Amino acid sequence: MGAVVWYRNDLRVDDHEALRSAYEEHDAIRAVYIKHQKKRDFERGTQQARFEQETLENLANHLSQIGITLDILEGKVHEVLTSYVQPDETVYFHKMTGTEEAASEKYIEDKYTTRSFETQTLHRREDIGSDELKRVFTAFRKRVEAKGTFYDPLDPPSDIHLMKEESVDADPEIAFPFRGGESAGRARLQEYLAEPVFTYKETRNGFLRNDSSKLSAWLANGSLSPRRVMAELQKAEREKGANESTYWLYFELLWRDFFHLTMRETGSRLFRSGGLQEGQRTWKRDEAAVERWIEGETGVPFVDAFMNEIRETGWMSNRGRQIVASYLIHELKQDWRIGAQYFEQQLVDYDVASNYGNWAFIAGVGNATRTPRFDPVFQQQRYDPNQDFTKRWT
């Protein structure tokens, strides 16, 4: 009787309860990852595909150190797993946010012996209490902060040594010059916590490499565990002193938790035109307008610069995401879900809950009904007064 570790958005060996448990309980272990078959309108961005490929290569290397082969398959999750898993094997996996993800879990649980674990978020549903709390960020934050404790990350099985990542020597104007994989994610975490984090609160609206952590890409595909990030952040605070900036990194990680726990609660509701709000909404769908937005040809330089950046690099800063989303929704009056789908295909850090949660928030159909609007001209004067960023990308 063997075990299958079913890899999903948890592409690491560190803090991996499923791998650790399978390793302790079985001699024969296989690992499998099923590449998603996209059925959307946009083609997948090359940077997103590259990042996934590098992540899988790094993971396969780490697993090979303990004699586990990572099989990378393509197809529908149900069908692939049905032909891959033997009836007497136990399937180990981490639970993931998302309705399709939950449906796959149920299918596997009904068919096989399974062991499942929760490590995708810092906090868990049972830490929060009432359902209502999850729909209001401030109440959620106060609740988890009052609890004040964190789940400790687990070390990888002792025979695995994380490969060392070469330092990245890249064009300083490329905000996200990083490779995929756990090794690169851990290297970036150390680089960021060594110094830049201590001024995060002042720099986080900027557009360059060290203006924000850039951890989202590794967190999204799980090559970094949020519990490991938090443990290392607390270590840096103990060694060098906590300040408002170090707290703010945790504060932002709480937004990620909030969107995940909300989606786990509300299922597929967020994908409707009216999002989490009651009723349907009518939005325009003008292909030519969307095309100009995607191609960076709206004629608004700040918007076009961000759209060129994401198309070429798979990355856009949080400020940029807010500005271009607001432009698509409030100026072009287009369906917010078209923008969310485009980001889904392009972003190296695409994460279903954070992406759809943020888009819905700006469209006024998320957890709150107010509709934040970002005037690109005012935003440029404030955040790119010398137009360095705009000139670089237009």
Q: What residue ranges bind ligand FAD (CB under 6 A)?
A: 204, 212-216, 219-220, 249, 252-253, 255-256, 259, 317-318, 321-322, 325, 343, 347, 349-351, 354-355, 358-359
Specify the residue, 90 or 317, whose C-beta has the smaller distance to ligand FAD: 317
To ligand FAD, the closest distance from the beta carbon of 78 in angstroms equals 25
Q: How far is the CB of 343 from ligand FAD (least distance, A)?
A: 5
Q: Closest distance between ligand FAD and the C-beta of residue 178, in Å?
A: 11
Find out whether 32 and 69 touch, Cβ atoms under 8 Å: no
Cβ pair 178, 47 in contact under 8 A? no
Q: How far apart are CA 197 and CA 204, in angstroms?
A: 9
CB 307 within 8 A of CB 325: no
Q: Which is nearer to ligand FAD, 61 or 210 (CB)?
A: 210
Shortest distance, CB of residue 253 to ligand FAD, whole angstroms? Answer: 5
For ligand FAD, the closer CB: 191 or 349? 349
Least distance from ligand FAD to the Cβ atom of residue 377, Å: 19
Q: Nearer to ligand FAD by C-beta: 51 or 350?
A: 350
Cβ contact 188:214 at 8 Å:
yes
Rounded to a whole number of angstroms, the minimum distance from the CB of residue 388 to ligand FAD is 19
CB of 209 to ligand FAD, least distance (A): 9
- The helix (H) or strand (E) run that includes residue 3 is strand 3-7
If the CB atoms of residues 104 and 120 are measured against ligand FAD, the closer one turns out to be 120
Q: Which amino acid is at 250?
A: Y
Judged by beta carbon, residue 5 or residue 122, the one nearer ligand FAD is 122
CA 278 to chain centre: 27
The CB-of-326 to ligand FAD minimum distance in angstroms stands at: 9
Write b or e for each residue in 55-79: b if 16 or more Cβ atoms lie within 10 A of its Cβ, otherwise e.
bbebbbbbbeeeebebebeeeebee
Tokens of residue 57, six digits: 């290569």
Nearest CB to ligand FAD, comparing residues 23 and 350: 350
What count of residues does the chain have? 394
30 or 321: whose CB is closer to ligand FAD? 321
Q: d(Cα 392, Cα 5) in Å, to the nearest integer?
A: 44
Q: What 3-state DSSP class applies to 113?
A: strand
Q: Burial code of 109-124, b = ≥16 C-beta within 10 A, e = fewer?
A: eeebebebbebbbbbe
Tally the C-alpha atoms within 13 A of residue 318's C-alpha that lie toward its C-beta. 16
Q: How many CB atoms lie within 10 A of CB 166?
A: 9
Phi, psi at 135, each rounded to 5°: -90, -5
Q: Which lies closer to ligand FAD via its Cβ, residue 112 or residue 258?
A: 258
Q: Enumerate residues 6+ apart whose C-beta is below 8 A from 97.
A: 120, 260, 263, 264, 352, 353
Least Cβ distance, residue 56 to ligand FAD (angstroms):
19
